[in-house]
Amino acid sequence: MRVAIAAFFALALAFMLPACAQSPEKFQAGQHYFAIDPVQPTSSGDKIEVLEVFMYTCPHCYDLEPYLTGWKKTKAADVAYSPFPAAWNEPAEAFARAFYAAETLNILAASHDKFFAAIHKDHIPFRTLDDIAQWYTQFGVTKEAFLGAAQSFAVNTKINRSKSMVPRWGVEGTPTVVVNGKWRFDVRSAGGHQNVGPLIDFLVAKERAAKKPGA
């Protein structure tokens, strides 16, 4: 009797294992995320790079912020995350310069979320870079210092890099997440805001596995 029961369970397990092995992954290439071809260089050293291509004026980017904030709290130590402002036209460029000027003046951490809220919650009309610079004075910098940083050689270099890299990644809208110069996806392809963090982790795991010897 015991032999018969053992044989039954062994047979059942033999049928179950192939089914498990063939079960589809939650996220599928070409549906939820897309390969970047050719693969683009990163600037994160040994860490796996995760970039969010965004615009401050983009309402979908603002809606995504709480989800990214939650994901960042559990981000692995081998992952380097950074927002990456798109500068593909003149209005977008002004806000990209604001991001990089704030970064240069060491006020980005204090101002990033508040600037998003100023645009989408408070509905402050920023029509020019001067308007933007005036708003940033609340963080202890002068308007002149902000404008100087926004027009500096260092920021010009970063703006040019944005104009170069965004099309190379195949980004057509914001927000778009780029993982290690190899993969990209947006909120729609991910299946909603709630899937953005899990999909980042999925692609990070792919990159982590690819780094292992013999992979």
pLDDT of 2 reads: 52
- Does 184 reside within a domain? yes
Q: Where are the beta strands (DSSP E) in 23-100?
A: 34-35, 48-54, 79-85
CATH number, domain with residue 75: 3.40.30.10
Output the six-digit token pair for 49. 């790079």
- Does 4 reside within a domain? no
Q: Is 170 left (phi over 0), alpha (psi -120 to 50) or beta?
A: left
- Does 22 reside within a domain? no
Question: Per-block average pLDDT, block size 10, for the chain (215 residues)?
Answer: 47 45 76 98 96 98 97 96 96 97 98 98 97 98 98 98 98 98 98 98 96 72
| Interior angle at CA 60, CA 57 and CA 61, nearest 5 | 65
pLDDT of 17 reads: 44
- Does 7 reside within a domain? no
pLDDT of 78 reads: 97
Q: Are 92 and 140 in contact (CB under 8 A)?
A: no
pLDDT of 1 reads: 52
Residue count of the chain, please give it: 215
What whole-number distance in Å separates Cα of residue 33 and Cα of residue 178?
A: 10
Radius of gyration of the chain (CA): 22
- Does 71 reside within a domain? yes
**What domain range is 57 assigned to?**
30-211
Q: What is the pTM (predicted TM-score) of this model?
A: 0.87
Task: Work out how many domains the chain is built from and give that number.
Answer: 1
pLDDT of 212 reads: 81
- Does 14 reside within a domain? no
- Does 50 reside within a domain? yes
pLDDT of 75 reads: 96
- Does 11 reside within a domain? no
